[in-house]
Amino acid sequence: MKFLIVDDEPLARLRLQKMLEHLGYSNIITASNGVKAIEAARQNHPHVIFLDIEMPVLTGIEAAPKIKQLSPESALIFCTAYDDFAIKAFDLSASDYLLKPVSQERLKQALDKIIPTDNTPSISFSYGKDLVSLSIDDIYYFISEDKTTYMYCCLGMVVIEHSLVSLESLLGEHVVRINRNALVNKTEVCGIQIKESKPFINLLNCEQQPQISRRNLSKIKKLIKENK
């Protein structure tokens, strides 16, 4: 689990870092303003970003849309001494809004919302007016078409902001690439069907059958044997 702390006050960054370490987290990077935060998000794709609002150069509110564009899988938690920005923060799909000084209990409460306790990875996305988080157990596959990523899951088909590359980084060994435009939940793979001499994958909980590229066919056959 990777964290990014963004605050122009060194002591505030250090305090939050120590609080995260107290909860058992160690993969923590920091940035002192919104511009540096954008670059850190682009390079590291952190799972959670703590973003101060009032900062020089670029405020947290100004930086947030650019961060979400570069690292849509990152959950944003705004941290500020003022509550005036709460509505604007949630308009930017913030996962939570913490008032300084942040207590250990309030920090844990915010993290519990977005970090599965069983270490099962999840995907957060906008669904209507809500911010929804789904476990990989409820997701079947992802496909990218015309620069748009579609996720097939227990809610049906939804459009998400994540790229396939960022999904591979986030979900790791839970997914397998079956062609250049599709990722599949490994536990969903149950068979192969040949149509017009082309292989298509059978999924347990989804009627859709994405095509398997020839270079990935042997890998999928091996996975089917392991799933039996």
Asked whether the predicted pLDDT for residue 220 surpasses 90, the reply is: yes
pTM to 2 decimals? 0.57
**Phi and psi dihedrals of 132, rounded to 5?**
-115, 145
Each residue of 100-148: pLDDT tens digit? 899 999 999 888 877 766 667 888 888 776 778 888 999 999 999 998 9
pLDDT band at 88 (very low <50, low <70, confident <90, very high): low
Query: Considering only CA atoms, which of 48, 78, 75, 73 is closest in space to residue 60?
Result: 78
Query: Considering only CA atoms, which of 196, 189, 197, 185 is closest in space to residue 222?
Result: 189
Q: How many CB atoms lie within 10 A of CB 195?
A: 9
Asked whether the predicted pLDDT for residue 54 surpasses 70, the reply is: yes
**28 Cβ contact partners less than 8 Å away, ≥ 6 residues apart:** 2, 3, 4, 5, 17, 20, 21
Q: What is the pLDDT, as a whole number, of residue 172?
A: 87
pLDDT band at 92 (very low <50, low <70, confident <90, very high): low
Cis amide prior to 101 (ω within 30 degrees): yes
Each residue of 141-167: pLDDT tens digit? 999 999 899 999 999 999 998 999 989
Contact yes or no for 4/41 (Cβ under 8 A): yes
Q: What is the pLDDT, as a whole number, of residue 29?
A: 96
Contact yes or no for 122/134 (Cβ under 8 A): yes
- Rounded (10°) angle between helices 104-114 and 10-22: 70
